[in-house]
Amino acid sequence: MRADAKKNFDHLLATARDVVAEHGADASLRDVARRADVGLGTLYRHFPTREALLDALLRSTFDELTAKADELGKTSSPTDALTIWLRDCVAGATQIRGITPLMMTAMEDPESALHASCVTMRAAGARLLARAQDEGSAREDLDGGDLFALVGALAWLGDLPATASRAGHLLEVVTSAVLTR
Amino acid sequence: MRADAKKNFDHLLATARDVVAEHGADASLRDVARRADVGLGTLYRHFPTREALLDALLRSTFDELTAKADELGKTSSPTDALTIWLRDCVAGATQIRGITPLMMTAMEDPESALHASCVTMRAAGARLLARAQDEGSAREDLDGGDLFALVGALAWLGDLPATASRAGHLLEVVTSAVLTR
DNA sequence: AGAATAATCGGAGCAGTGCTCCGAATATAT
DNA sequence: ATATATTCGGAGCACTGCTCCGATTATTCT
CA quadruple A142, A143, A144, A145: dihedral positive or negative?
Answer: negative
| pLDDT score, position B1 | 83
Residues of chain A above pLDDT 70, percent: 100
At B11-40, the pLDDT tens digits run 999 999 999 999 999 999 999 999 999 999
Max CA separation in chain B (angstroms): 57
Please, which pLDDT band fits residue A181 given cuts at 50, 70 and 90?
A: confident
Residue A180 has pLDDT above 80, yes or no: yes
Mean pLDDT of B72-92: 98
Please, which pLDDT band fits residue A158 given cuts at 50, 70 and 90?
A: very high
- State phi, psi for B162 to the nearest 5 degrees: -70, -25
| pLDDT score, position B171 | 98
Whether B30 and chain A come into contact, CB under 8 Å, resolves to: no
> Per CA to C1' distance, which residue is closest to D21?
B41
Mean pLDDT of B144-148: 98
Distance of CA A43 to the CA centre of its chain: 23
Computed over every residue of chain B, the mean pLDDT equals 97
Alpha-carbon gap: B75 to the closest alpha carbon of chain A (Å): 28
Q: Contact A170/B139, CB-based, under 8 Å?
A: no
> Helix, strand, or coil here: B149?
helix
The 10 Å Cβ neighbour count of residue B57 is: 19
Q: Contact B153/A149, CB-based, under 8 Å?
A: no
Residue A40 approaches strand C within 7 Å at CB: yes
| pLDDT score, position B2 | 84
Mean pLDDT of A130-135: 98
Integer distance in angstroms from CA A39 to C1' D9? 4
**Distance (Å, rounded) from C-alpha B36 to C-alpha B43?**
9
Tell me which residue of B70, B96, B94 sits closest to B84, measured CA to CA: B70
Mean pLDDT of A124-140: 98
Domains of chain B: 1-47 (1.10.10), 57-178 (1.10.357.10)
Mean pLDDT of B122-136: 98
Residue in chain B nearest A150 by alpha carbon: B170
